Amino acid sequence: MCNLAVKIETNIHRMMEKHDFVTIADLSKDKIMYLIRMAQEFEKHPNRDLLKGKIVATLFFEPSTRTRLSFETAANRLGAKVIGFSDAKASSVTKGETLKDTILMVANYADVIAMRHHIEGAAQYASEVAPIPIINAGDGAHMHPSQCLLDLYSIYKTQGTLENLNIYIVGDLKYGRTVHSLITAMRHFNPTFHFIAPKELSMPTEYKIYCKEHDIKFQEHTAFNEKVIADADILYMTRVQKERFSDLMEYEHIKNVYILKNDMLQNVKPNMKILHPLPRVNEISYDVDDNPHAYYIQQAQNGLYTREAIFCHVLNISLEDIVNDNTIIR
């Protein structure tokens, strides 16, 4: 009886504790690996009723295809219902409603909010005012923690480890929120980064300082060729983001600076995989798609499993609950 009382009290405490998923910097090494194990369970059995009776709100103030659809698919496959909008023009924001009021109103109807916003720090602010969990689906050029978790899961699946890897990041390192999140998360795993970008889009000083403060090794390159990428375990391509440029002439000047072509992959390491947060524009030639090193389509698929894990994490559903789940739909 005593043990039962303790278990009930523990479960009540878990239910009352509010978990947000705003930045990958909040996660310890153990928590990252814990979420990866959760994603592995969902890859085995993605269809369940774990969230039956829950309502998920997806608020996308900025356009998205993969992130929004994978969040909504994850919610649906776990038995939740989904409400929200994919365009801020279809909301009361156009009437002048503040972010605070939008969040508080939606919190009346939903159990969790997944939100993308063009302003850096918007998700953090939302988490401070919301009585329900907030998941950051990307805030400006700042962070994209759910993309980062699926990147980590993809790296772990293809390399068998997250430790001691050579990770080459190519393209828009200035505005690339996926890149900034990845650097933050990999601090636990002793990586060596190679930053490949034109000077206009080089890694911001604050992230290079972050690397130095956390003893993360890195090198910077402006050249992008077969020789430069020969030692890569992970080649992480990014697009030059037109929407982040105030000067379109500058965008046109650098948008096609780095293009990965199939003939550049002849001498890469056997284990090397090419990742990309997508969408792609011109930075990966279509002849690369059939190369065994290409992994970006499978990477997007992994977003389903990791976002199922994120929903469970913020709603206080544990790995033990998932392993022992009897709601699996086969």
Q: Look at residue 239 in the predicted model and tell me its pLDDT.
A: 84
Q: Look at residue 92 in the predicted model and tell me its pLDDT.
A: 78
Could you report the per-residue pLDDT of 279-330, keeping only the tens digit for each?
888 899 999 999 999 999 999 999 999 999 999 999 999 999 999 999 999 8
- Residue 243's pLDDT band, with cuts at 50, 70 and 90, is low
Indicate which residues carry an active-site annotation. 66-67, 95, 116, 144
Q: Look at residue 87 in the predicted model and tell me its pLDDT.
A: 81
Residue 185 has pLDDT above 70, yes or no: yes
Residue 7 has pLDDT above 70, yes or no: no
Domain 2-143+303-323: give its CATH code: 3.40.50.1370
Could you tell me what percent of the chain has a pLDDT over 90? 75
- Residue 176's pLDDT band, with cuts at 50, 70 and 90, is confident
DSSP string, 275-299: E--S--SSSB-GGGTTSTTB-HHHH
Fold of 145-301: Rossmann fold (3.40.50)
Q: Look at residue 6 in the predicted model and tell me its pLDDT.
A: 45
Are 239 and 281 in contact by the 8 Å Cβ rule? The answer is: yes
Same fold, 2-143+303-323 and 145-301: yes
Distance CA 279, CA 243 (A): 13
Residue 103 has pLDDT above 80, yes or no: yes
Q: Look at residue 37 in the predicted model and tell me its pLDDT.
A: 98
The H-or-E segment that residue 244 falls in is none
- Average pLDDT value over all residues in the chain: 90
Q: Look at residue 321 in the predicted model and tell me its pLDDT.
A: 98
Residue 142 has pLDDT above 90, yes or no: no
Residue 25 has pLDDT above 70, yes or no: yes
DSSP secondary structure code for residue 263 in this structure: G
The answer to which of 51-60, 85-94, 180-189 has the lowest mean pLDDT is 85-94
Residue 246 has pLDDT above 60, yes or no: no
What residue spans define the domains of the chain? 2-143+303-323, 145-301
Single pTM value for the model:
0.89
- E-assigned strand segments in the chain: 55-60, 81-85, 112-117, 134-139, 166-170, 192-196, 217-221, 234-237, 273-275
Are 286 and 274 in contact by the 8 Å Cβ rule? The answer is: no
